[in-house]
Structure 1
């Protein structure tokens, strides 16, 4: 590796990548190749604006911001195009005794994918992100609001050139880019990858978009709903299941509407969608996207080629048959969103009696419309989710979302001042 520096990163609970820039020699040290490099657990115990969460009794600032060990994952090494002669490397967090850090999103995803692997199944997925492009230091959109318009793309051609170059160097598998139906709204598609790689790609794609936009006087925004009365920004997750022989196990459901595996997988996702909305839609702003009329699902329903369903069944060729979960927004943590899907699938496979196709087709449960409602649903969750996601993670995550809710409740907005003064 011919590099002057390596940026070693890990995802935090809010979906941001955190880490350090290192001299490459550090990665060749005995500690880096063995136990891992020290970093603080405070990065898993802060809110989106870096304020320490003071309601966590055994993590972060209340527990002395103790060290975790960040163990590099060599398979993730790739050039970092916006730094000269630099590479990026993702890693996994471990406790000082070497055990996986239970509250680390990448480890939570590893846990849920491992449970499916034990059942002979591999998840392949791709995040379909939408994001807004605004002029730097403003909320002025960078394009018109015409969907699928080449004229809109020509307005940001320099950004697109840079972004595609970044994506190619990072090996993100960027395959499609087009405008969507709101000013400055862009959608990007990537090729499907195995579960952990799909989440890594999603995290790096957001970073690449932000860096590319900054080079051209723009700002890439991944809020779920940055502008009122306009289309929100989603992160639809396409996922499929494959056996150890390399066959898509959903292939039979294309011709058999009563396929048992299809029913189990779909039911698992739908049944746990109310509680797991807390992972798919983690912020106050998330729920402003989830309103009728904007192709954002407000109920737990599954169906074929219809974008109003939360879970869209795309049963086409044997190799391409898959589901599309449309509930997550662009503000989701991709590691936790995919972990929630994998955990739901596992619980669906474990159901003693799978639901009938009629029961599945009729399912249309209302989903949370606020972070407060999502917290309530998560507190009522199926206890099997604690085993699937990890009990320590579930407890930790609830406290981080309660912190977000309280921060919002303590804020006074300009809207309130204008309306009630």
Structure 2
């Protein structure tokens, strides 16, 4: 995974003619939130150094915006206190569906200056800093699958053949709009193809440095949703929207690079006992049960994770086999990388990369690392439900807390317990029909 030439650019000034600024940050679901602002409010020394006000309630609500009342100090229980959103001008780019509007992503801070520990972008920054302490940096790219449905329905927008040019032609207007949006947003969209379920599309982007890769993933989902809406369609990133059909994944390609700019997996193809390979793979595999709560954060996530759909149900690793949870693509000094196939399209890209970084750090610091043969035979079962993932996260390696932050880990666990209780308190039409 070589360095990408696609970057947001270090622009420090709003372009002439800017009429509004969309200032955004990711919530716990990975959904971008924020405000449209007058440029005069954003382009000031105070906004740049301190930030603009928002509320921590947006980090303490469920996907339907219901306040999570089980959080003791955040959100509604803590008075929905102020946070400050500091714009990151390296992310500045135009918003293609809002003429005259520029987009900025930002970092949440507590009043007084400290970063907000439970903010996903800050969690990723912290994890990347932990890698940096090990002399490493990360490059990554998300491969998103998503479904295209007719607007306001569950009718698929195209037929189900995979890698079909005719299938692409059925949604050509959508693809054209998405390509234009991606170009304006500088997302590095490089591949679009159909997958083997009605309406299922996959998009690939160029690799970028860790934080930029997460920003790109979040913006790509936003751009896909807007492009679909403009064409009378709906883009769904639900992990399993239709029973009995292929689900929607978010395969993550990632690599680590040393301080001299070398790919740390460069020698693994020639050396079966390469230490970095073994440590990184072991860290990811052993933390997969707990990290499933991050990679597969919702009730629906686990309906994708069933045998027969290349959606991994065990913590397995090997070279170039799509049945593995961690697929090793050992392709020379520039292209060697791992592909984590466990996450679904509903994952939070910031927290997903943070969990990968924390898992690699765990492997780099652990005392015992198995041989390559033991790694290749490792096939431990992974949680098959949100309840199982909550339990696994509750007994997580303390190393995850060190890297991700203990306050975040406890906050995040409570939000997933909330989702579990919401499901347990729901009676579905299926139950009424089956058991009435």
1:195 to 204, 210, 224: 210
2:420 equivalent to 1:408: no
2:367 equivalent to 1:355: no
Aligned to 1:306: 321
- What SS is found at the alignment partner of 2:262? coil
> For each residue in 1:36-95, what CA deviation from the matched residue of structure 2 results, as whole angstroms up to 9, or x when unmatched?
111000000000000000001100001110001111101000010000111110000011
CA-based RMSD of the aligned residues comes to 0.7
Shift of 1:353: 2.7
Shift of 1:6: 0.7
1:249 to 264, 273, 287: 264
Aligned to 2:392: 377
Match runs of 1:197-212 below 5 Å: 197-212=212-227
Q: TM-score, normalised by structure 2?
A: 0.96
1:325 to 313, 321, 340: 340
Shift of 1:305: 1.1
Task: Please give the alpha-carbon distance, in whole angstroms, between the structure 2 residues aligned to 1:201 and 1:385.
Answer: 25
- What SS is found at the alignment partner of 2:90? helix
Aligned to 1:175: 190
Task: Please give the alpha-carbon distance, in whole angstroms, between the structure 1 residues aligned to 2:281 and 2:43.
Answer: 45
Shift of 1:97: 2.2
- What SS is found at the alignment partner of 1:164? helix
Aligned to 1:281: 296
- What SS is found at the alignment partner of 1:237? strand
Per mean C-alpha deviation after superposition, the further-off stretch among 188-197 and 411-420 is 411-420
Structure 1 residues not aligned, in runs of 5+: none
> Contact 1:254–1:318 at 8 Å: present in 2 too?
no
Task: Please give the alpha-carbon distance, in whole angstroms, between the structure 1 residues aligned to 2:295 and 2:413.
Answer: 13
Aligned to 2:409: 394
- What SS is found at the alignment partner of 1:126? strand
2:249 equivalent to 1:234: yes
> Contact 2:358–2:399 at 8 Å: present in 1 too?
no
> For each residue in 1:204-244, what CA deviation from the matched residue of structure 2 results, as whole angstroms up to 9, or x when unmatched?
00000000000010000000000000000000000001112
Shift of 1:355: 1.5
Task: Please give the alpha-carbon distance, in whole angstroms, between the structure 1 residues aligned to 2:125 and 2:333.
Answer: 27
Shift of 1:159: 0.4
2:18 equivalent to 1:8: no
Aligned to 2:119: 104
Shift of 1:398: 0.5
1:32 to 47, 50, 55: 47
Match runs of 1:90-239 below 5 Å: 90-239=105-254
2:298 equivalent to 1:293: no
The structure 1 segments of at least 4 consecutive aligned residues displaced by more than 2 Å after TM superposition are none
Task: Please give the alpha-carbon distance, in whole angstroms, between the structure 1 residues aligned to 2:236 and 2:192.
Answer: 16
Shift of 1:28: 1.7
> Contact 1:121–1:244 at 8 Å: present in 2 too?
yes
Shift of 1:347: 0.7
Shift of 1:14: 1.1
> Contact 2:19–2:39 at 8 Å: present in 1 too?
yes
Aligned to 2:4: none
Aligned to 1:84: 99
Task: Please give the alpha-carbon distance, in whole angstroms, between the structure 2 residues aligned to 1:239 and 1:383.
Answer: 23
